[in-house]
Amino acid sequence: MKILLAEDDFASRKFMQKYLDKYGECDVTVDGGEAVDAFLMALEDEEPYDLICLDIMMPVLDGYQVLKAIRSMEKERGIEGDKMVKIIMTTALNEEKNVRVAFELGCTVYCNKPIDQEKFEQVLSKLKLV
Amino acid sequence: MAEDFNVEGMLDIFLFESEQLLDNLQDIVLEMKDESRFDDDSINEIFRVMHTIKGSSGIMMYEDITTVSHKLEDVFYYLRDTYPDNVPHVKLVEYVLEVADYISGELEKIKEGGEPDGDSSKLVAEIDSFLTQIKTGIIDSGEDLPPENEHQEATQFYIPAAPGEASKYFRITLHFFNDTQMCNIRAYQAVYELKEYAEDLIFSPEDIISNEDSGEVILQEGFRILLMTKSDRAEIKSILEKCSGVELVDIKESTAQEMMLGFSDDVIMEQPSPIVIALDDEEAKKAKEKAEAVTPGDYVVVKQDVGKKKQIAKHTKGPSKAAFMSVSVEKMDQLMDLIGEMVIAEAAVLENPDLKVPGLELSNFQKAAGQLAKITSDLQDVTMSMRMVSLQATFQKMNRIVFDVSRKLDKDIELEVIGENTEVDKNIIEHISDPLMHLIRNSVDHGIEDKEGRKAAGKPKKGKITLEAKNEGGKVYIIVRDDGAGLDKEKIYSKARQKGLIDSRSINEYSAKEIYQFITYPGFSTNETVTEYSGRGVGMDVVVKNIQNINGTLEIDSVPGQGSEMTLKIPLTLAIINGIVMEAGTGLFVIETSLVKEFVRVNEDMLVHEPNGEKYIMIRGECYPFMNLAKRYNMMSTESETIEDGVVIVMDYDGKNICVLVDKLVAQQEIVVKPIPNYIKRVRGLSGCTQLGDGSVALILDLPGLMLGEEKVK
């Protein structure tokens, strides 16, 4: 499985990377701008990501902007349904309005930090990623 | 829950909404329980509720809840199009309530931080076979089975933060020794040490590494840190104390809000801040929504300096206009206490002995005093009204209890609710909920006869329990009435004898009400068989104790064969009453103004002495029990005064009268009721005490106690 992780905080990034490594190859970016670039690059190489984990509070572009950009780029290219990349928002923001907007923009999972690893794994298997 | 409300986290919203839906569901079901079938509206509503819960629990990944609600949704899906005749309505009602209970139970577990681990398989299996039965019913009736209810798997999921110890917040100030060199570097080392334990950390001054002058500032003002951590205070303290040059570590508890504020304006926020629930007009609402709406780009991190919190692009503005807010009960209580103190202070000013100097010109003072008195009493009223809550929610709960218990006992009972909009102090609601539940259960269990019993007594098949609330004369009355068999006087009397609660007096020497009161004694239950709901002999005494805690009384009345009536009488306000202050012997007493019927001067001729020592007084041809208050409480002053010098107060309590002799009346004023301190034995006839304007203490009379007390004194 090919994973992209966008996370600006060093400690979280280190933890997430270690955690995700066991599921597959994990690329890491430190801001939202890079994340969009990485997504596009992978698309062009025809090796798209299977899973993208996005922090929300990030420099350059925030998680919402990245999410929106990815979904519209997919739409433009006719990528639909199961072919769409699974996006997990990983963030400490837990207010209902934050979650709702993320769902409206088309994220697959909204995961609050600190991450509940057991549930995280459950979700991955539900999404048939593992 | 209320405290967490302002977080408005996803999980809270899920719990809140689901609970609302379930309440709604329960109301619909209870309303329809006596019909022969659910009508179209209720079917649609139940279907909708289950559909919503199924959807949201799917997103939250609570699979058992999803499965159960899905099953029930299916049932109503089939009922929606074709309602076959073979649906046992009562069974269906039970299933819906069972599902509601199951889900509420699971929600409760989630709320307490646990996992919803209740086993749903049995319930699902039961409903499943019920569903099959319905389907056959549809086929039998010759209709086509509607297409399968399509179940869409949730495609989006929410994972709440991993449960764990809650983070703590600390506000720390480090003071260095006066001659310490390079404080800034030492401060940074302290920060570095803390980083390992910190989840988040902000400090001030911020530029400790780049700006050498900051060392000076730290020496002067100390080095301030806001810390979010899972470690405890002692641990943090020991880490910091090990740092070189540190003279003093000052650690204070802090909050998430303070952490959010950082050192930006250095306002220490009081913690549960008021939350805006509603706005008064549409426009303001829209403006607020707009201000609060999350749009992509709001969370771009603009800069993050060392020691500063992340700055995000959007500036959140405070809500513009608020028409409602919720306030913590604690603060309301504080306010109430303060007003009580203010009433006392007011009296201390207005009744000040310094003003009693003869010949003082006080007309301006009196004018101002009048104004002050008006404002204080308005303030009191407003505060009281802020604490008022309708009884509706409490009464609604009783509906469910009647339904559950009567079904289990196979009785057919209807609950009539009157005056559920009556408002009472929030404090009172908390205290009456349990007693009321108990009274209702008792009525269902012991009060109403079983089916055969009612038939034999020639009563309608359906039993009736009436729950009534009303406001009268500064008191709330809550009445539970049933049309059952009533209380058995003889049975209660003999049982009371057996338990040794009664002296040698025969049954005829007690009034019916007095005998009924025996059932409120600890360990008393005439019911031979203990049922699941009542009869264990604990209960009525607990009810009475609870009611007494809020200065209320429980009165029991009954007509054999026709039913019984339990009346809770609770004073509307617990804190401040309007009272009359009077002097009797060496003591000061207060009686609530509303209880006083009249004041009369009497003479010795009007007194009637009974041989047993009891005294009565004849006033305009009516005979009242009489008592000398000073004598009753052994507060006679040395010079014995004659009855002609005193004033007799005729008081009325619940239809009974009593006359009390006092030496003189002092004043009528607002009285702040304070409990009699624990170290003083409870004295019958006194319900509390108060402090008067001049600092002296007066005792507040409790009429029912006073009336009872006579026997004991004798």
DSSP B607-636: EEE-TTS-EEEEETTEEEEEEEHHHHTT--
- The beta-carbon neighbor of B10 closest among A58, A96, A126 is A96
**Confidence at B312, pLDDT banded by 50, 70, 90:** low
Q: Looking at the predicted structure, is the pLDDT value of residue B601 above 80? A: yes
- Chain centroid to Cα B213, Å, comes to 56
CA angle, residues B390, B394, B399, in degrees to nearest 5: 130
How many domains does the structure of chain B reveal? 5
Residue-wise pLDDT for B153-197, tens only, equals 778 888 887 766 567 788 888 888 877 777 788 888 888 888 777
Whether residues B605 and B672 share a domain: the answer is: yes
Query: Is B286 inside any structural domain?
Result: no
pLDDT score of B314: 61
Query: Is B457 inside any structural domain?
Result: yes
- What domain range includes position B367? 330-386
**Closest B-chain CA to A87:** B156
pLDDT score of A40: 92
Enter the tokens of residue B63.
């699979």
Distance from CA of B262 to the nearest CA of A (A): 17
Q: Looking at the predicted structure, is the pLDDT value of residue B699 above 60? A: yes
Average of pLDDT values for B502-522? 77
pLDDT score of B581: 92
Share of chain B above pLDDT 70, in %: 85
Whether residues B562 and B604 share a domain: the answer is: no
Residues of chain A with a CB closer than 8 angstroms to some CB in chain B: 8, 32, 56-65, 67-68, 92-101, 103, 105, 107-117, 119-120, 122-123, 126
Out of B235, B261, B287, a domain closes at B261
Beta strand B300-303 with A58-59 is: parallel
Q: Looking at the predicted structure, is the pLDDT value of residue B285 above 80? A: no
Residue B172 belongs to a domain with what CATH number?
3.30.70.1110
Compute the mean pLDDT over every residue in chain A, rounded to the nearest whole number. Answer: 90
Q: Do A108 and B157 touch (CB under 8 A)?
A: yes
Mean pLDDT is highest, among B261-275, B502-516, B691-705, for B691-705
**Confidence at B6, pLDDT banded by 50, 70, 90:** very low
Q: Looking at the predicted structure, is the pLDDT value of residue B274 above 60? A: no
CA distance A99 to B156: 11
Query: Is B432 inside any structural domain?
Result: yes
**Where are any strands of DSSP class E within B494-540?**
none
Out of B240, B261, B282, a domain closes at B261
Whether residues B510 and B592 share a domain: the answer is: no
Average of pLDDT values for B661-670? 87
- Greater confidence, B615 or B530? B615
Average of pLDDT values for B1-8? 40
- Greater confidence, B367 or B324? B367
Q: Looking at the predicted structure, is the pLDDT value of residue B267 above 90? A: no
Whether residues B14 and B126 share a domain: the answer is: yes
Domain A2-126 has CATH 3.40.50.2300: yes
pLDDT score of B323: 60
Query: Is B275 inside any structural domain?
Result: no
- Greater confidence, B510 or B638? B510
Out of B214, B246, B261, a domain closes at B261
The domain limits of chain A are 2-126
- Greater confidence, B76 or B212? B76
pLDDT score of B713: 40
Residue-wise pLDDT for B405-462, tens only, equals 888 888 888 888 888 888 888 778 888 888 888 888 888 888 888 888 888 888 888 8
Neighbours of B525 (CB within 10 A): 17
Average of pLDDT values for B11-20? 86
Query: Is B324 inside any structural domain?
Result: no
Average of pLDDT values for B63-83? 85
For chain B, first and last CA: distance in Å? 53
Query: Is B604 inside any structural domain?
Result: yes
**Closest A-chain CA to B4:** A95
Mean pLDDT is highest, among B49-63, B222-236, B346-360, B637-651, for B49-63
> pTM (2 decimals)?
0.53
- Greater confidence, B654 or B193? B193
B198: which chain A residues are within 8 Å (Cβ-Cβ)? Answer: none
Q: Looking at the predicted structure, is the pLDDT value of residue B521 above 90? A: no
Q: Do B156 and A108 touch (CB under 8 A)?
A: yes
Residues 6+ apart with CB under 8 A from A25: A1, A2, A3
- The beta-carbon neighbor of B156 closest among A8, A63, A109 is A109
Q: Looking at the predicted structure, is the pLDDT value of residue A27 above 90? A: yes
pLDDT score of A34: 92
CA distance B645 to B631: 15
Query: Is B514 inside any structural domain?
Result: yes
Whether residues B437 and B505 share a domain: the answer is: yes
**Confidence at A114, pLDDT banded by 50, 70, 90:** confident
Kind and range of the H or E element at B338? helix B329-350
Compute the mean pLDDT over every residue in chain B, rounded to the nearest whole number. Answer: 79
A11: which chain B residues are within 8 Å (Cβ-Cβ)? Answer: none
Whether residues B540 and B416 share a domain: the answer is: yes
B301: which chain A residues are within 8 Å (Cβ-Cβ)? Answer: 8, 57-59, 62
Question: Quick one: DSSP state of residue B447?
Answer: I
**Closest A-chain CA to B164:** A114
Of B53-67, B98-112, B134-148, the poorest mean pLDDT is in: B134-148
CA distance B384 to B336: 8
**Confidence at A71, pLDDT banded by 50, 70, 90:** very high
CA angle, residues B523, B527, B531, in degrees to nearest 5: 95
pLDDT score of A110: 93
Q: Looking at the predicted structure, is the pLDDT value of residue B124 above 50? A: yes
pLDDT score of B525: 61
Enter the tokens of residue B666.
């002092």
Q: Do A64 and B296 touch (CB under 8 A)?
A: yes
Q: Do B157 and A56 touch (CB under 8 A)?
A: no
Query: Is B293 inside any structural domain?
Result: no
Beta strand B615-619 with B622-628 is: antiparallel
Whether residues B372 and B412 share a domain: the answer is: no
Whether residues B257 and B223 share a domain: the answer is: yes
**Closest B-chain CA to A116:** B162
Enter the tokens of residue B390.
């309708």
**Confidence at B4, pLDDT banded by 50, 70, 90:** very low
- The beta-carbon neighbor of A64 closest among B7, B159, B299 is B299
- Greater confidence, B301 or B42? B42
